[in-house]
Amino acid sequence: HADSAMYEAKRAGRNNLQFYTPALNDILIERLSVEYRLRQAIERKEFVLHYQPKMDFLTGKVNGAEALIRWQPEGGEMIPPFKFIPVAEETGMIEEIGAWVMREACAKAHELRERLGRDIPIAVNVSPRQFGQPHFVESVRSALASVDLPPHCLELEITESTLVLDARKFVDTLHELKALGVCLAIDDFGTGYSSMAYLKDFPVDRLKIDRSFVDNLEQEPAKKPILNAIVALGRSLGLKVIAEGVETRYEHDHLRSMGCDELQGYFFSRPLTSEAFERLLIEPAIV
Ligand code: C2E
Ligand code: MG
Ligand code: MG
Ligand code: MG
């Protein structure tokens, strides 16, 4: 409700200069407190990564995972990313947090590779501000080098909203990352602007269809033509197409028949702790 209060205040503020509403004051206080606690969290190392398995439609097996950050304050409840990633992004703290995520994910991919004797690529979400850092490509290179991880074991998920800042620079950076050998994916595809115009210029490997196109598919069949068009678009560009947020058998079957390559969602698995993810890889039948 803080968000909707913010929205109301903004809307009212546009016409009436209503800046000092009590609601807005509350939001600012809440903001500052999140910011303060977030700084502490970085020092106290209160972040953990959970891993959501991705399933290959052809084999029905796990062929990688997405790393998803969680904030676990001491003695408090787990805080989901939507509550702090935007604050981290606005304050610049995302640069430090993002660098930690990258190193941690590379370390995990390396560990799995050693223990299982096969590659389990890990995908990391990269925020717009993090992507735009002058030394971003270098930081990816050094995260890989620090654990001697082959670049194809790291995937970067980038949203279309990153593009609006500076399209030219965006594409240049993608090329540098591609040259490094990491795998690149457009996340939340279909929700951003100008995706169609630019897509052919992006040296990416994968499209992740936004969850909103999959959600409630059975109850909302009107979503099908759009979903089908996105899958066809990705495939015709030679990209792997991944559906996220798949929750039901119905959604699974439809996406499979559409020719989608990979699935991620509660239907297959929720995001897991690092240990649970590893157990799933070792004893797939039990989980
Ligand atoms: P995303 O990258 O699109 O990640 C997918 C989100 O969908 C995750 O939420 C995941 O738990 C959720 N999800 C997966 N399957 C299902 C499903 O079947 N049904 C439903 N309802 N949800 C599903 P989560 O973990 O809360 O993350 C939300 C967003 O926060 C992510 O969206 C990503 O944009 C951001 N995020 C997470 N970790 C990081 C990170 O390390 N760095 C940055 N910059 N952003 C992150
Ligand atoms: Mg993602
Ligand atoms: Mg997404
Ligand atoms: Mg759903």
The residue whose CA has the least distance to atom 23 of ligand 1 is 245
CA of 250 to the centre of ligand 4 (A): 10
- R_g of the chain, CA atoms, integer Å: 20
Cα gap 277→208, rounded to integer Å: 21
Question: Could you tell me which of 153, 226, 219 has the C-alpha nearest to residue 189?
Answer: 226
* pLDDT cut 90: percent of the chain above it: 75
Q: How large is the average pLDDT for residues 98-123?
A: 96
Q: Coil, strand, or helix at residue 121? A: coil
Q: Are 280 and 287 in contact (CB under 8 A)?
A: yes
CA of 154 to the centre of ligand 4 (A): 27
Match 């033509």 to its residue by tokens: 225
Q: How sure is the predictor about 12, in pLDDT bands with cuts at 50, 70 and 90?
A: low
Match 């995520």 to its residue by tokens: 101
234 lines ligand 1 (CB under 6 A): no
Instruction: Looking at the CA of residue 98, tell me the nearest atom of ligand 1.
Output: 42
CA of 113 to the centre of ligand 3 (A): 26
**In this structure, which ligand is nearest to the CA of 189?**
3
85 lines ligand 1 (CB under 6 A): yes
Token readout for 161 is: 């909203």
69 lines ligand 1 (CB under 6 A): yes
Instruction: Looking at the CA of residue 124, tell me the nearest atom of ligand 1.
Output: 41
Q: Coil, strand, or helix at residue 47? A: strand
Cα gap 230→236, rounded to integer Å: 10
105 lines ligand 1 (CB under 6 A): no
Q: Is the pLDDT of residue 2 over 60?
A: no
Cα gap 181→184, rounded to integer Å: 9
CA of 9 to the centre of ligand 2 (A): 30
Q: What share of the chain is helix, strand, coil (3-state, %, to 5)?
A: 50, 15, 30
Q: So what's the ipTM on this one?
A: 0.97
Question: Could you tell me which of 234, 134, 113 has the C-alpha nearest to residue 176?
Answer: 134
Greatest alpha-carbon span in the chain? 64
Q: Is the pLDDT of residue 113 over 90?
A: yes
Using one digit for the tens of pLDDT, what is the confidence trace for 74-107?
888 999 999 999 999 999 999 999 999 999 999 9
